[in-house]
């Protein structure tokens, strides 16, 4: 038994519905940077079922040993060892990617972290590069469900800086950073997948 190997039940449950959206989106792409990989379960699953991709997981330093244990166990050649990446840090990877994927991260981050996410992602994406983000979003100044409202209250009780972000605010940050919203997919349990593309 590997005591370092973390596990998230929700990640296990949402990986197939997320795949159904990102598989066609990433079908002709090569290099993907995952931001906030968490346990590493998505990284293993997506790189396994999309072997043409070169998948780069990342997260805060303290999450890396757990992700590494999933990477080691997978033995996948197209799955890289995780790298430390705090979206607010100036130390983003030097290389560029075809797409960025991030699940259930923006509602964990503070508003400043989300601003930094959108202002920094362009540094690692070429023109036409994609950002695909999965998670809950508010819209028209409201929660989209009672369960999201309870979830938001719970998030704030754990960390007052966390909380579900407004779709319109995220889209405005993305547009200011030179991205255009190209896809918006409703997902089970009041989640969404939003896809932005870097404009010339
Ligand atoms: C709820 S978990 C989601 C993990 C995974 N993506 C999933 O869907 O299972 C949120 C993740 O965001 C990461 N995170 C929080 N703040 C961050 C930041 N400033 N930069 C990068 N990652 C961050 C946390 O370390 C954590 O792994």
Say if residues 68 and 58 touch (Cβ distance below 8 Å): no
Atom 1 (ligand 1): residue with closest C-alpha?
104
Q: What is the percentage of the chain residues whose pLDDT exceeds 70?
A: 98
36 lines ligand 1 (CB under 6 A): yes
CA 51 to chain centre: 19
What domains sit in the chain, N to C, each tagged with a CATH number?
9-198 (3.40.50.150)
C-alpha to C-alpha distances, 118 to 57, 73, 131, 179, 197, nearest whole angstrom: 18, 32, 9, 9, 12
- Please spell the DSSP secondary structure of 76-123, one letter per residue: -TTBPPPEE--TTSS---SS-EEEEEEES-TTTS-HHHHHHHHHHHGG
The tokens for 167 are 């779709």
Q: What are phi and psi of 40, to 5 degrees?
A: 105, 0
Whether the pLDDT of residue 4 is over 80: the answer is no
pLDDT tens digit sequence for 33-51? 999 999 999 999 999 999 9
37 lines ligand 1 (CB under 6 A): yes
pLDDT for 55-110, tens place per residue? Answer: 999 999 999 999 999 999 999 999 999 999 999 999 999 999 999 999 999 999 99
Percent above pLDDT 90 for the chain: 97
Q: Residue 131 — pLDDT band, cuts 50, 70, 90?
A: very high
> Which among 18, 38, 64, 88 is the best mutation to test ligand 1's pocket, defined by most ligand atoms within 8 Å of the CB?
38
Whether the pLDDT of residue 3 is over 80: the answer is no
Q: Each residue of 160-188: pLDDT tens digit?
A: 999 999 999 999 999 999 999 999 999 99
Residue 144, pLDDT > 90, answer: yes
């Amino acid at each position: 038994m590997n005591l370092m190997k973390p596990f998230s039940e929700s990640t296990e449950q949402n990986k197939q519905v997320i795949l159904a959206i990102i598989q066609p989106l990433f079908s002709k792409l090569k290099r993907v940077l995952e931001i906030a990989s968490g346990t590493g379960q998505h990284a293993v699953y997506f790189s396994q079922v999309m072997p043409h991709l070169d998948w780069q997981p990342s997260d805060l330093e303290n999450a890396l040993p757990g992700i590494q244990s999933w990477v080691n166990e997978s033995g996948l050649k197209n799955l890289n060892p995780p790298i430390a990446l705090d979206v607010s840090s100036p130390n983003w990877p030097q290389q560029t990617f075809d797409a960025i994927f991030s699940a259930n991260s923006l509602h964990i981050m503070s508003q400043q972290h989300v601003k930094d996410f959108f202002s920094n992602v362009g540094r690692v994406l070429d023109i036409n590069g994609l950002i695909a983000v999965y998670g809950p979003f508010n819209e028209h100044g409201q929660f989209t469900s009672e369960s999201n409202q309870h979830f938001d209250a719970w998030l704030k009780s754990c960390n007052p800086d966390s909380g579900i972000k407004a779709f319109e605010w995220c889209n405005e940050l993305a547009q200011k950073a030179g991205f255009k919203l190209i896809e918006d997919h409703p997902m089970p349990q009041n989640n969404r997948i939003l896809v932005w593309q870097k404009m010339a």
